[in-house]
Structure 1
């Protein structure tokens, strides 16, 4: 991992633009990348939960990553999520990420046949990480989606012995005690990328310096303000901005959560991401009208449609 640098600041979990029939709309990523470059993000996290990775084919995920790398033009880092229930598919995606020029890879735990121990999780990830041994590898911990709630501290401790390029975890969990333990492990050896947007202030207070979030796509100034306020020990400002974040999250939960509701917001601000793939349903005209009203009520700006 030559010239490896730790992540800091905002990493936007990218949505996957799609046509009305569900096909990929790769041409929209150029415009999307320009928006991300202007927003001040450190990087984008491609084909994760927000990007509907579980609803994409392996070939589609390769095409999406390739386009993001092209569209980024070196203005921010592109991190490839390569996780899959199929280890061999994840290895293939990992190799592709390394060959294509991704800055790092991450993988979520398998969620159908689940590992029952840290050792099983390490054995699953080791060949995936090895397939991109020149890139930093992050364990994407999200028990609410995977049902895998194994000790992340233990994984980092034992995993580093068998996964040399393991650098940390994307910690999408509200167990802040465990998060703090990960941050303190071995004198701060591992990166902990904060995952839940609505409690970013908590992760930063514990010592995290980077976050990965879907709402960073459309309210980046709120999160940039939180990062700056926490650096300056301005808790009043940080709390106020975090409350604005919570208001937006409350709205997207009303419309089916961060993927479905968030994708609709992207459409409203001028990035044509289309609808989600089945089983997530398309937004109706009535829902769009209601969403606009809900966003206006909380002072959300930037609606173009």
Structure 2
């Protein structure tokens, strides 16, 4: 259980940080790391969906893992997402993260081809055996097309390196089922930010989320309320968070492009997003003023 304590709390998914030409930026990655460190989050999840991993080559992904580790190792918990289209690439990323001193690895299941459970099991097992690091399964069926079953999760847990699951499926019942399978010796992360509070109540031990870095104060406060048993107060914050998320997802640009513009206005310029994702439009720029105001007002209401 002592091992798992470092994985509790609020762990933002780190965004891809580009220079003005769209290349991975060491300076901007470190700026974002420093910003999150200053906000008091407990860790970061590096190289996942928010990190635009599927649009980057191996060298770019290795660079981001390197820059984040150099800036944050020993200061907060570091989880490296190493899922890639091929097992070979995933293992290469896993070994790189291990050399950098990450606290754990994580990976989505194989994408594109519809594979049977035995192939998915082998994919995850091969990555797990590539290093000595703890491993966190990543279940996100809405983007990968693969749904992790409690039965396969139980089989994976026979390997003691598997310490938990980042569950990003929408039903909170999935969190309850995975927690029931794993018990207290396994950590379950809530994935969908829209259900952070309900996910925690249903058994999630912590949260990893793609919008956390745009409003870390709100998620940190919601988590404190949940830990204190103040569920009504936590639910009020969740309602404000959901209003903000709906606004983030309702612009011409992708949600991540909108979040990056919000961070730029906070003094953290991490560039835009990589095509085919869309950057913000001229019309978005004005509407983002309102989203920033929504976040600031929610922080003022709840985080005193």
Q: Calculate the TM-score normalised by the size of structure 1.
A: 0.91
Deviations 1:76-132, CA, capped at 9 Å, x for gaps: 111110001111000000011111111111000111113232x22111111111112
Structure 1 residue 143, shift from structure 2 partner = 0.6
Structure 1 residue 189, shift from structure 2 partner = 3.1
Task: Rate the CA distance shift 1:300–1:62 in 2: closer, same or farther, 3 A.
Answer: farther
Paired residues of 2:190 and 2:207 also in contact (CA < 8 A): yes
1:136 maps to which residue?
134
Structure 1 residue 253, shift from structure 2 partner = 0.8
Instruction: Tell me whether 31-40 or 96-105 shows the greater mean CA deviation.
Output: 31-40
| Aligned residue pair count | 297
Task: Rate the CA distance shift 1:297–1:9 in 2: closer, same or farther, 3 A.
Answer: closer
Structure 2 residue 111 is the aligned partner of structure 1 residue 111 = yes
Structure 2 residue 205 is the aligned partner of structure 1 residue 199 = no
Structure 1 residue 216, shift from structure 2 partner = 1.4
From 279, 282, 292, the equivalent of 2:279 is 282
2:261 maps to which residue?
264
Which structure shows the bigger proportion of residues in helix conformation? 2
Q: Which runs of 5+ in 2 are unaligned?
A: 300-304
Task: Rate the CA distance shift 1:186–1:211 in 2: closer, same or farther, 3 A.
Answer: closer
Structure 1 residue 60, shift from structure 2 partner = 0.8
Instruction: Tell me whether 82-91 or 64-73 shows the greater mean CA deviation.
Output: 64-73
Task: Rate the CA distance shift 1:67–1:299 in 2: closer, same or farther, 3 A.
Answer: closer
Structure 2 residue 85 is the aligned partner of structure 1 residue 89 = no
CA distance in 1, matches of 2:40, 2:295: 23
Structure 1 residue 48, shift from structure 2 partner = 0.3
From 150, 162, 169, the equivalent of 1:166 is 162
Is the partner of 1:83 in helix, strand or coil? coil
From 266, 270, 282, the equivalent of 1:273 is 270
Instruction: Tell me whether 266-275 or 98-107 shows the greater mean CA deviation.
Output: 266-275
Paired residues of 1:105 and 1:138 also in contact (CA < 8 A): yes
1:127 maps to which residue?
126
Deviations 1:196-218, CA, capped at 9 Å, x for gaps: 11111111111222100122112
**Which 4+ residue blocks in structure 1 deviate beyond 4 angstroms?**
297-302
Paired residues of 1:247 and 1:298 also in contact (CA < 8 A): no
1:148 maps to which residue?
146
Task: Rate the CA distance shift 1:70–1:297 in 2: closer, same or farther, 3 A.
Answer: closer
Deviations 1:243-290, CA, capped at 9 Å, x for gaps: 111111011111255423222222222211111111012223332122
Paired residues of 1:50 and 1:258 also in contact (CA < 8 A): no
Paired residues of 2:13 and 2:46 also in contact (CA < 8 A): yes
Structure 1 residue 20, shift from structure 2 partner = 2.5
Paired residues of 1:251 and 1:295 also in contact (CA < 8 A): no
1:66 maps to which residue?
66
CA distance in 1, matches of 2:18, 2:298: 24
Paired residues of 1:183 and 1:192 also in contact (CA < 8 A): yes
Task: Rate the CA distance shift 1:107–1:73 in 2: closer, same or farther, 3 A.
Answer: closer
CA distance in 1, matches of 2:3, 2:53: 26
CA distance in 2, matches of 1:258, 1:22: 18
Paired residues of 1:15 and 1:51 also in contact (CA < 8 A): yes
2:302 maps to which residue?
none
